[in-house]
Amino acid sequence: MTRMLALAAAFAALVTTGAPTPAHASGCGWYALGGAFQSRRAAYNQAGDLDASVYDLDDSDSPNAGKGFYVVALGPVRRSQADQYRREFRRNGVRSAYVKQMCFYGPRL
Residue 20 has pLDDT above 90, yes or no: no
Residue numbers of the domain that contains 47: 27-103
Percent of the chain whose predicted confidence (pLDDT) is above 90 = 41
Average pLDDT over residues 6-11: 30
User: Is 74 within the bounds of a domain?
Assistant: yes
Q: Say whether 54 sits in a helix, a strand or coil.
A: strand
Name the least confident of 14-23, 54-63, 80-89, 97-106.
14-23
Cα–Cα distance between 64 and 15 in angstroms, integer?
29
Average pLDDT over residues 54-77: 81
- Total Cβ atoms within 10 A of residue 51: 10
Q: What is the reported pLDDT for 49?
A: 80
User: Is 32 within the bounds of a domain?
Assistant: yes
User: Is 79 within the bounds of a domain?
Assistant: yes
Residue 8 has pLDDT above 50, yes or no: no
Answer with the residue of higher pLDDT: 1 or 59: 59
Domain count, the chain: 1
Tell me how far CA of residue 49 lies from CA of 25, 81, 88, in angstroms: 27, 19, 12
CATH code for the domain of 93: 3.30.70
User: Is 1 within the bounds of a domain?
Assistant: no
The 53-56 sheet, strands edge to edge: 53-56, 70-77, 28-37, 98-103
